[in-house]
Amino acid sequence: MSRVVITGGAGFVGSHLCDRFLADGYEVVCVDNLITGSLDNIRHLQNNPQFQYLHTDICEALNIEGEVDAVLNFASPASPIDFTRIPLEIMDTGSRGTRNALELARTKGARFVQASTSEVYGDPLVHPQTESYLGNVNCIGIRGVYDEAKRFSEAMTMAYRRQYQLETRIVRIFNTYGERMKLDDGRALPNFGTQALRGDPITVYGDGSQTRSFTYVSDLVEGIVRLLHSDCSEPINIGNPDEVDLLTVAKEVQQLTQSNSEIVFRDLPPGDPKVRKPDISRAQAILNWTPTIQRAEGLRRTLADFARRMKQDDESVA
């Protein structure tokens, strides 16, 4: 392989994928319409002759000139704030957008990687979550637009594999964090981090006993790269099985930022999953992959990035 197309390449995870493939010697075509991505995430790549950015909506025809060896479909709004702000765009991206990306891979004879999510398991009744678990998703709930869009994209990916013998891969991504997360993302870590750094109350929903499994972004990227080069056509969990409750994370952020912010509690949003923990046996056996970055180190790097960008934002306003 020498040339990859990364849809959603100006997003949080997508931009880190661009970095990795360029570092590995690939030519990278980054496709993004910036509905949730940002040029700031790829600005450091603009003078790299191996990098090309296309401002394109994948829900429209996806035309890429030249040879393509792999298509990585990471285009999708994924923040909780987007579920009510742009629900139809989320569903369009998961359906029409996924098909356009698959068509690009089919016409180019390229390998295809679909970014899915632990949200396909919904509010799980099986713990930890294995790839064989079919999920407990509320299709008419607020989160349903994202959950069902990803479930549909998985079904579409497998349909292309069966009908066209397309080389496909599906990665189910668990909670991921790191540099370049949107500061107004609406998820737990950006909320905790920005609130603590500003000295605002740190908002914990419910009693904070709901759990998550946080994966640092470089670990996720490593798993995705290994999956691309593997022979695994079934969905595969990439996540950190180090499960932790959100109240503990809020306290860790409070301590790492040396913040005087108090922790306050608010009502739990409807449909918020109570537990989340991946079974990564398949990733360990097939990809020889296990996360390596401990949460304390990942949080330190992430919070430093938050502080730097918040300072830049404050200076630009001033």
Which two three-digit tokens encode residue 27?
A: 């030519």
List the catalytic residue out of 53, 146, 160, 216: 146
Type of residue at 140: I
Angle among Cα 284, 209, 249 to the nearest 5 degrees reads: 65
Only one residue has tokens 């750094």, namely 197
Is 205 a known active-site residue? no
Q: How far apart are the first and last CA of the chain?
A: 47
Dihedral angle sign, alpha carbons of residues 235, 236, 240, 243 = positive
Cα atoms in the Cβ-side hemisphere of radius 13 Å centred on 178:
19
76 close to 10: Cβ distance less than 8 angstroms:
no
Which two three-digit tokens encode residue 40?
A: 């700031």
94 close to 152: Cβ distance less than 8 angstroms:
yes
Residues noted as catalytic: 146
